[in-house]
C-alpha cells in the first residue's frame, strides 16, 4: 500500500514526529529486509527489540514507526511515534481493510493451511489480481503484516490464521473481518495448550464468529469437529469433501500414490500432481472457495495445472535412483498418519523407508502420541528410522504391532541418521522424511539429494 507518513500516523493511531509527506510502499519488521520505500516497524519481541536495529534500518528505509523516538533522526525520514508498535501494525491492517475493497479469504485448521492457501491463491489468481501471505506468516504479527503489504490493486487477499492459544484467532479475525473463512480440519495440534481436541475446535470457531456480516464459511464435510462448530453460523455455508455429501464433492477418485490423483468435481475432471488424499482435500477446499468468489471452471482448471508443492512440503527428489519424499517442514500425528498412508499406496520397486523425527508441541502426552503413531505405521513399510529422543516411543509402538528390531533404527540427530541412510538406501527405494521443523530433517534431504539451498 502506498501511504505517506501523515496517513500512517492517522491509520496507526500514532503521532507524526517528522516527514509528513514522505511516501512508503512496503512495511517491514526485519531491518535486513528494508528497501528504500519501506517503513520499518520497531517491534518489541520476546527476544529482540526492533529499536536496537533502528539506525541500521533508517540508513535505507523511508522511515519508521517507533515507541521510542531516537536522538538524531536523519533528515528526510518519516517518523511516527506510537505507544505499542505491535498494536500499531495491527491498527494499520484494520485501517487498510476498511479503506480498500479487496475480498479477504482467511484459512484456519490443524493441518493443510499453507498448502490450501497456496492452492486458493493459484486458483483465484487465474482470473483476479491476488495477493497471499508469504510462508506461514499466520500469527498476531504475520497476519497484519500481510494485510499491511497488500498492493493497491489487489482484488483478492488470501491469508492463514494460526493459533497456539484461545483468543488469538478472535484477535486476528476481529481486526480484519474476512469475507470468507475456510476450514481445513481440526485435530490434535498444539494440544499441550488446550488439553482436548474439542477445545481446539472451540478456539478455531473464533474465525467463523468474526467473518464479515453476510460472509461465507467453507467447511470440510468429512471432519466432524469442523461441522459441529459451524452449527450456529447464520451466514452462507459452502461444503467440500470426499466421504460425505457436500456441495463440492470429489468423486471417481483414482489415487496414484506419489504420482498424484485424478478425480471429478461437479462433472469437471481434474488431475492433481500433488500426491495424497490430504492434498485432494486441500484442493477441494480451494475449488469450493474459488467458485464462491466467482472463478470460472476454466480458470480453476488452469490453476490446478499450475499447482506445485511448497518447499519441504511434499517435494519429490531423486537420490541416485531412490525417490525422496521431502515432507520435513512440519509434523503432527494427523499429518504423519496421512503421509504414511500415502507411502503405503505408492507403487514402489524397492523398499519403503520411513524416516520419522520427533513431533513437537504435543504436551505432556507427547510420548503416548508418538507410541500411537508408531502403532499405526502400515505393515508395508519395510524400515522405520526414528530421529530424536521422542521417536524412541514411536519405535516402541511399531515394535508392539509386530515390527522386528531389524526393521527399526534410532538416531539422536539428523546428521547421524543421514550418514546411515547414505549407505543404506538403494535405487528403487522410496524414502519418506518427516518431522517437526525444529528437528532439522531437511539436513538429511540435503545430504541424500544434494539439494542444499534448492527451492
pLDDT band at 288 (very low <50, low <70, confident <90, very high): very high
Residue 455 has pLDDT above 50, yes or no: no
CB 366 within 8 A of CB 388: no
- Nearest-CA neighbor of 7 among 33, 39, 51? 39
Q: Which three cell numbers stand for residue 371?
A: 507410541
Q: Let me know if residue 91 belongs to a domain.
A: no
Using CA atoms, how far apart are residues 47 and 45, in angstroms rounded to an integer? 5
R_g of the chain, CA atoms, integer Å: 23
Which residues face 150 on adjacent strands? none
pLDDT over 90, % of the chain: 70
248 and 351 assigned to the same domain: no
Residue 156 has pLDDT above 60, yes or no: yes
342 and 431 assigned to the same domain: yes
DSSP state of 176: H
DSSP state of 126: T
CB 269 within 8 A of CB 262: yes
146 and 37 assigned to the same domain: no
**Single residue among 281, 305, 329 that ends a domain in this structure:** 305
Question: Residue 186 has what pLDDT?
Answer: 85
The least confident of 25-39, 173-187, 377-391 is: 173-187
163 and 251 assigned to the same domain: yes
User: Could you give the angle at the alpha carbon of 183 between the alpha carbons of 335 and 225, nearest 5°?
Assistant: 75
The CATH code of the domain that includes 33 is 3.40.1390.10
Residue 251 has pLDDT above 90, yes or no: yes
Q: Let me know if residue 27 belongs to a domain.
A: yes
CB 276 within 8 A of CB 339: yes
**Single residue among 84, 117, 142 that ends a domain in this structure:** 84
| Number of structural domains found in the chain | 3
CB 57 within 8 A of CB 82: no
133 and 44 assigned to the same domain: no
**Single residue among 284, 305, 326 that ends a domain in this structure:** 305
Question: Residue 171 has what pLDDT?
Answer: 82
Q: Let me know if residue 310 belongs to a domain.
A: no
CB 169 within 8 A of CB 206: yes
Q: Which three cell numbers stand for residue 369?
A: 502420541
Using CA atoms, how far apart are residues 379 and 404, in angstroms rounded to an integer? 11
First to last CA, the chain: 28
pLDDT band at 136 (very low <50, low <70, confident <90, very high): low
Q: Strand 3-4 to strand 78-81: parallel, antiparallel, or no bridges (unpaired)?
A: unpaired
Q: Which three cell numbers stand for residue 410?
A: 534410532
pLDDT band at 258 (very low <50, low <70, confident <90, very high): low
Q: What is the mean pLDDT of residues 377-395?
A: 97
Whole-model pTM above 0.75?
Answer: no
Q: Which three cell numbers stand for residue 176?
A: 480484519
Question: Residue 406 has what pLDDT?
Answer: 97
- Nearest-CA neighbor of 303 among 52, 57, 40, 118? 118
Question: Residue 159 has what pLDDT?
Answer: 92
Q: Looking at 82-227, which runs of residues are DSSP E strands?
A: 103-108, 130-132, 156-160, 180-183, 216-220
The CATH code of the domain that includes 388 is 3.90.190.20
Mean pLDDT of all residues in the chain? 91
Question: Residue 172 has what pLDDT?
Answer: 80
Q: Let me know if residue 229 belongs to a domain.
A: yes
Which pLDDT tens digit goes with each residue over 308-349?
776 777 788 889 999 999 999 889 998 899 889 888 888 899
Q: Let me know if residue 455 belongs to a domain.
A: no
Question: Residue 90 has what pLDDT?
Answer: 93
Question: Residue 77 has what pLDDT?
Answer: 96
Using CA atoms, how far apart are residues 178 and 172, in angstroms rounded to an integer? 10
Using CA atoms, how far apart are residues 295 and 316, in angstroms rounded to an integer? 30
Question: Residue 201 has what pLDDT?
Answer: 80
The CATH code of the domain that includes 284 is 3.40.1190.10
Q: Write the CA distances from 39 to 95, 157, 419, integer angstroms.
A: 16, 21, 46
Q: Exposure of 25 by Cβ count < 10 A (0-12 exposed, 13-18 middle, 19+ buried)?
A: middle
pLDDT band at 453 (very low <50, low <70, confident <90, very high): very low
Which pLDDT tens digit goes with each residue over 99-124?
999 999 999 988 888 889 999 999 99
Question: Residue 256 has what pLDDT?
Answer: 79
Question: Residue 397 has what pLDDT?
Answer: 98
- Residue 28, Cβ neighbours under 10 Å: how many? 20
216 and 356 assigned to the same domain: no
CB 8 within 8 A of CB 61: no
Q: Let me know if residue 367 belongs to a domain.
A: yes
Residue 232 has pLDDT above 80, yes or no: yes
Spell out a b/e string for 438-450, using b for 16 or more CB atoms within 10 Å of the CB, else e.
ebbbbbbbbbbbe
Question: Residue 452 has what pLDDT?
Answer: 38
Domain span including residue 65: 3-84
Using CA atoms, how far apart are residues 6 and 271, in angstroms rounded to an integer? 51
Question: Residue 434 has what pLDDT?
Answer: 96
Amino acid at each position: 500500500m502506498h501511504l505517506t507518513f501523515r496517513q500512517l500516523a492517522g491509520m496507526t493511531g500514532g503521532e507524526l514526529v517528522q516527514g509528513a509527506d514522505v511516501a512508503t510502499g512496503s512495511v517491514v519488521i526485519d531491518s535486513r529486509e528494508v528497501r528504500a520505500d519501506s517503513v520499518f516497524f520497531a517491534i518489541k519481541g520476546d527476544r529482540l527489540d526492533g529499536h536496537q536495529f533502528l539506525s541500521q534500518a533508517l540508513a535505507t528505509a523511508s522511515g519508521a514507526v517507533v515507541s521510542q523516538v531516537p536522538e538524531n533522526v536523519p533528515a528526510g525520514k518519516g517518523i511516527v511515534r506510537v505507544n505499542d508498535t505491535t498494536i500499531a501494525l495491527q491498527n494499520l491492517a484494520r485501517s487498510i481493510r476498511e479503506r480498500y475493497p479487496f475480498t479477504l479469504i482467511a484459512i484456519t485448521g490443524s493441518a493443510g493451511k499453507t498448502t490450501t492457501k497456496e492452492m486458493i491463491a493459484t486458483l483465484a489468481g487465474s482470473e483476479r489480481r491476488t495477493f497471499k501471505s508469504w510462508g506461514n506468516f499466520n500469527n498476531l504479527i504475520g497476519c497484519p503484516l500481510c494485510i499491511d503489504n497488500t498492493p493497491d490493486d489487489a482484488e483478492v487477499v488470501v491469508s492463514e490464521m494460526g493459533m497456539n492459544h484461545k483468543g488469538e484467532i478472535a484477535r486476528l479475525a476481529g481486526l480484519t473481518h474476512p469475507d470468507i473463512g475456510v476450514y481445513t480440519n481440526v485435530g490434535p495440534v498444539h494440544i499441550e495448550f488446550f488439553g482436548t481436541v474439542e477445545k481446539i475446535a472451540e478456539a478455531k470457531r473464533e474465525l467463523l464468529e468474526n467473518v464479515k456480516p453476510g460472509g461465507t464459511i467453507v467447511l470440510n464435510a468429512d471432519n466432524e469437529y469442523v461441522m459441529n462448530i459451524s452449527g450456529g453460523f447464520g451466514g452462507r455455508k459452502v461444503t467440500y469433501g470426499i466421504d460425505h455429501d457436500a456441495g463440492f464433492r470429489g468423486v471417481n477418485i483414482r489415487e496414484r500414490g506419489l504420482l498424484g490423483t485424478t478425480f471429478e468435481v461437479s462433472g469437471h475432471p481434474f488431475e492433481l500432481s500433488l500426491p495424497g488424499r490430504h492434498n485432494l482435500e486441500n484442493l477441494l477446499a480451494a475449488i469450493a472457495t474459488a467458485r464462491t468468489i466467482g472463478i470460472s471452471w476454466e480458470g480453476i482448471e488452469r490453476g490446478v495445472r499450475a499447482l506445485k508443492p511448497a518447499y519441504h512440503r511434499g517435494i519429490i527428489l531423486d537420490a541416485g535412483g531412490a525417490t525422496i519424499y521431502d515432507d520435513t517442514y512440519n509434523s503432527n500425528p494427523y499429518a504423519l498418519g496421512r503421509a504414511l498412508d500415502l507411502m503405503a499406496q505408492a507403487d514402489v520397486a524397492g523398499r519403503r523407508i520411513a524416516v520419522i523425527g520427533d513431533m513437537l508441541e504435543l504436551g505432556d502426552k507427547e510420548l503416548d502420541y508418538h507410541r500411537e503413531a508408531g502403532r499405526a505405521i502400515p505393515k508395508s513399510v519395510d524400515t522405520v528410522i526414528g530421529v530424536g529422543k521422542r521417536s524412541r516411543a514411536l519405535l516402541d509402538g511399531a515394535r508392539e504391532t509386530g515390527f522386528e528390531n531389524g526393521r527399526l533404527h534410532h538416531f539422536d540427530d539428523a546428521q547421524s541418521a543421514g550418514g546411515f541412510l547414505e549407505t543404506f538406501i538403494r535405487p528403487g527405494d522410496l524414502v519418506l522424511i518427516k518431522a517437526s521443523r525444529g528437528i532439522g530433517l531437511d539436513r538429511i534431504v540435503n545430504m541424500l539429494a544434494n539439494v542444499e539451498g534448492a527451492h
